[in-house]
């Protein structure tokens, strides 16, 4: 089982994994996952890694609305943490490099804030 899948399955805020597509060969892998969170949000995970680079996008939606997305696509050069950044509504903001653990930790805080 891929490390990201294991972490999602063990998370207290992930209700279920809806779909998963993966392809791996040696040090190369691509992973796409859709998961439902306990508050009804959907988490879309996309990871692509080779020995030379790792790309990621973690997109969270509520219905058809973007809640937040973290990614490291090499655009938005104006962001001081380039290529790492996050999308919040129409804003592009600085972000550290994110892992699935970081994402789940941030989302847990957001969900707790939503319910308080």
**Residues in the chain, overall count:** 116
Give, for 22, the enclosing helix (H) or strand (E): strand 14-25
Q: How many domains does the chain have?
A: 1
Give the domain extent around 107: 3-115
CA–CA dist 104, 11 (Å, integer):
8
CA–CA dist 37, 60 (Å, integer):
9
**Mean pLDDT per 10-residue section of the chain, whose length is 116 residues:** 89 96 89 97 96 94 95 94 94 95 96 78
Q: Which residues pair with 55 in a beta bridge?
A: 48
| Structure confidence at residue 1 (pLDDT) | 56
């Amino acid at each position: 089982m891929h490390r990201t899948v294991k972490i999602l399955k063990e998370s207290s805020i992930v209700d279920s994994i809806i779909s998963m597509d993966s392809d791996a060969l040696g040090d190369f892998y691509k992973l796409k996952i859709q998961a439902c969170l306990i508050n009804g949000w959907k988490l879309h995970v996309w990871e692509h890694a080779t020995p030379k680079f790792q790309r990621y996008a973690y997109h969270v939606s509520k219905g058809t609305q973007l809640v937040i997305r973290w990614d490291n696509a090499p655009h938005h050069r104006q962001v001081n943490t380039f290529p790492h950044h996050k999308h919040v509504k129409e804003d592009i903001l600085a972000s550290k490099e994110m892992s699935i653990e970081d994402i789940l930790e941030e989302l847990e805080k957001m969900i707790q804030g939503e319910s308080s």
